[in-house]
A and B are shown apart, each in its own frame.
Chain A
Amino acid sequence: MFGYEFYVDPSRCIGCQSCVKACEECETHRGHSMINFDFIDRTETIGTAAYVCWHCDDPTCALVCPADAIKKGEDGIVQSALKPRCIACSNCVLACPFGIPKIVPEYEQMMKCDMCYDRTSVGRRPMCATVCPSQALAYLRPEDIARRREKPTNVFYFGNQKITTQVYMMTPPEIDAIPADITELMWETPAGDTKQNA
């Protein structure tokens, strides 16, 4: 969609997995979800994160593909591997710094997020960003994202590799971190004082 960009903000994610489930319902790949979703470490935190493909300007997955099966369109969208060419070697899976591509054993093919090409090409928002209840995945105009507390960036460094992407990451504002352990926030009766519900 002209004038719209994709923004990812893990700090808004509530871990509901609506994106995972809705992606699976998309007509072009029904039954296969292209969302990367993580519980970061459930013991330590409620933090969760959902990602789509970042659609790199110079995609590492395509650079390492021995079969020349991964193509970026003029619109900047990096597509799933071309079925006739893909040899399911997993080079792209290993090389992608974001961990996005997956081999689908059933098809012996790498499949990944294509930014809902079928929807965005006819003026609709990608499925995940449409349903996301917390708008951690959002498809918006830049002037709309500017109203948020967090700021977008699309520049990433992995060691010496600088990557610029189509999809933006929202970076957190300057706030005091919430401690991950609830006991750090609690008030507890001093030792020796046993009464509870006074």
Chain B
Amino acid sequence: MAKAPLPLEQLRDQFGPHLNYMPEGGWHKESRTMPDRLVKTHCCFCGQQCGIQLKVRDNRVIGFEPWEEFPFNRGMLCPKGVKRYLQDNHPDRLLDPLLRTNSGFRKATWDEALSFTARRLREVQERYGKDSVAVFGGASLTTEKAYLMGKFARVGLGTRHIDYNGRLCMVSAGVAYKLAFDVDRSLIPWSEIPKAQVLLVIGANIGECAPITTDYIWRCRDNGGKLIVADPRITPIARNADLFLPVRPGTDLALLNAMLHVVIRDNLQDEQFIAEHTSGFEAVKASVARFNPRMAAEMTGVPPEAIEKAAHWFARAERAIGMHARGLEHQSKGVENCSALINLALATGHVGREGSGCTMITGQGNGQGGREHGQKCDQLPGQRSLLDPAAREHVARVWGIAPDELPGAGYSAQEIMNAIHAGEIKALFSICFNPAVSLPNADFTREALEKLEFFAVTDFFLSETARYADVVLAGSLQEEEEGVTCSAEGRVIHIRKAVDPPGNARTDSEIICDLADRLGRGKFFPFRSPREIFDELREASRGGHADYYGITYEKIDAQMGVFWPCPSLEHPGTPNLIQGGVSCFPDGKCRFQRAEWRDSGDPVGPDFPIFLTTGRVVSQYLSGTQTRRIGGLVDIYPEPRVEIHPRLAEQHGIADRDWVTVTTRRAELTLRASIVRTIRPDTVFIPYHWADLKSANKLTHRTLDPRSKIPEFKVSACRISKSDAVPPWAATEHMVRINIPAGVPAPKGAVD
């Protein structure tokens, strides 16, 4: 039913991505005309949530100016932030709702589009049951919108199936931190980083994915701190590493367990901290006994001496911080990986003290806030469990329904797609999610989307996923609706509205509330502004771990952000969690978790002897829906390339820029080679931001971590071969550039 209505080439011509290079009217006109005002807000790209000022004139964003007073980034911005304003006034922008026809999409009125959406959702639910409709949300939404999506699914539609694209982000860390501390947040604000004597950065390409954090790390080194980096690639943050551990993909657990083994073997553990503040140490001690450095070297490819040195540095430091990101988390043992790092921090007493702790570097714009207030399949606002009767009662009361009316826990994001493929889920309502690019095994995802009986998408551009939709609701960019987000630090910040949505586009929360009304549930969605949603969210989160009750927009402005929990209006917020080693569990103990080895779901073997790992580049954000439309960013790294070590390349006769076909058990992909000495010779790397025949996720597999349900993006098995033929996408596709100033050369990549 939901096949793309036109050939992809025609859809691309019509809806992009086209490359926008200049503000409307060109550089010169803009340079001579002053903005009406500067709006202090935050960058929409990534969990750093840098402060930025947007230049606004005549209800249009025309440029940016650094915001030097905001304490987190003090004016610093990566290129995504600098060029972010070019997503505004973009010619690909959806200005009206769209309905699919036999020959493409046609513009519709809001009344037509929303009535149709409500009718189809009702029809599907009447025919197949409430749970035959699923909802996808996203972690680039403001917290108000994320909260609204959770309520919309459970109260508006009455389905148990809602999950979000944060499922592809840091949920493994979330589970591990809940197990250890009963709270899912970075234990520390970033101001602790320069105070550490040792930083252990594992599975985190900080220079490209969290660029502002670089300055914090360099300042730590200025203060005499040592930097340990573990990664299958020498990434930019490793250029100043004091110790680099070239860990084989999927073996971080062995490395971390071996470090703990060395700590215990050499009697460097903090016995007093373990005795007073933790439980479960003995079981973990037994579980790491077999991970001696020699055995771990076999598994990880890291020299035994380097493992010992890293363990000694970390344990002997008075203050040490473990920092991790998707590298640890995107594995079928993602939770175990994070637990192993937490175990190391607990065993050495590096929790709850100044300049110490561990932190997941949350990736998405509102990756933290988007996972706190009920957008996850098993969660209610305030980081409450959907299975907890007291939590159900509290939230049901705030929402004005009976606790029994709240559905139970539903499927996670990949499980929803699996259920669509299996025919169990028949309709999907999606916002802020581009699964056609971001979910693993992209051909499977396409098949699933084509099976949907009804598919509605809310988006500001026609994403690759929206091509399959029956109706596309023209929504809003971050700068078009007020709200809050929560940064990677746990700092709740204020997103100010800069402009109204253009044309007939509407704000996301208006769309959701209107749709709820048409579903006959309007009385539960009486919100006239984001502030009213936030006020209800404050009540709903009250008493939960992520308690927002004491946070107001005014307090955020006055304090430059408020760290949750903030239980009362007088409370200043809580930058440091687990202070003094006291966890959020009733007994206050931090809990060691056994982190047992499990093999990858896509093991390397004779037919597929090479590891494939995927990741990001600095100039693109997530599935590229926004950043693949900004010329200045695309020019930095125009298309995905396969990173290959010269030793491996030589075995296959591959030279730099040759076409290389990468084949996994699911699909093959032909891209240009980038021959670099900075990647392990048993591994190749492809960034994932692109769609269709350039999509790294054609190659990846759907194995999930059993607890966090995160896909194993970081470990697949592949083989490679030189390709003599130019792939079809390169022969036919040309990037359409618009608004381009004279004299600008054709896009030239970083590695050209």
What residues make up the interface of A, taking CB atoms closer than 8 Å to B? 11-18, 20-22, 24-25, 27-28, 30-31, 39, 42-48, 104-106, 125, 127, 130-135, 147-149, 175, 178, 180-183, 185-189, 195-198
Contacts and interface: CB of A to CB of B under 8 A. Distances in A.
B106 interface: no
Given A130-B68, A131-B66, 7 more contacts: A14-B618, A47-B239, A125-B68, A131-B76, A134-B211, A178-B234, A178-B241
Contacts of B604: 196
Interface in B82-118: 82-83
Interface string B52-87: 000000000001101010000101111101110000
Given A134-B214, A147-B222, A149-B222, A198 B236 contact: no
A46 B678 contact: yes
Given A30-B30, A105-B743, A132-B76, A14 B298 contact: no
A197 B81 CA distance: 42
B629 interface: no
Contacts of B239: 11, 14, 46-47, 178
8 contacts: A21-B636, A46-B239, A48-B236, A131-B76, A133-B215, A135-B215, A185-B244, A187-B300
Interface string B310-345: 000000000000000000000000000000000000
Contacts of A149: 221-222
A42 B751 contact: yes
Interface string B22-48: 100001101100000000000000000
Contacts of A44: 677
A196 B82 contact: no
A13 to B, nearest CB: 8
B246 interface: yes
A31 B246 CA distance: 41
A182 B77 contact: no
Contacts of A183: 645, 647, 677, 681
* Highest count of chain A CB atoms <10 Å: which of B215, B244, B297, B647: B215
B234 A182 contact: yes
Given A14-B207, A17-B636, A106-B742, A43 B676 contact: yes
A15 B236 contact: yes
Contacts of B79: 16-18, 20-22
A14 B299 contact: no
Interface string B645-681: 1110000000010000000000000000011111111
B742 A16 contact: no
A181 to B, nearest CB: 5
B619 to A, nearest CB: 7
Which 3 pairs between the two chains have the least Cβ-Cβ distance? A14-B207, A31-B27, A133-B211
A46 B207 CA distance: 11
Contacts, number: 174
Interface of B: 22, 27-28, 30-31, 63-64, 66, 68, 73, 75-79, 81-83, 207-208, 211-212, 214-215, 218, 221-223, 233-242, 244-246, 251, 295, 297-304, 306, 599, 604, 618-619, 632-633, 636, 645-647, 656, 674-681, 741-743, 750-751
B618 A16 contact: yes
A160 to B, nearest CB: 33
B31 A186 contact: no
Given A106-B742, A106-B743, A18 B78 contact: yes
B742 A28 contact: no
Contacts of A188: 301
A132 B74 CA distance: 10
A73 to B, nearest CB: 22
A186 B234 contact: no
Given A18-B78, A133-B214, A148-B222, A197 B680 contact: no
A16 B210 CA distance: 11
A198 B676 CA distance: 29
B299 A197 contact: yes
Contacts of B656: 43
Contacts of B751: 39, 42
A46 B679 CA distance: 11
A62 to B, nearest CB: 26
A134 B215 contact: yes
B406 to A, nearest CB: 43
A195 B626 CA distance: 45
A111 to B, nearest CB: 12
B750 A15 contact: yes
A148 B212 CA distance: 18
A147 B679 CA distance: 33
Contacts of B78: 16, 18, 131, 133
Given A12-B218, A16-B211, A24 B632 contact: yes
Contacts of B647: 183
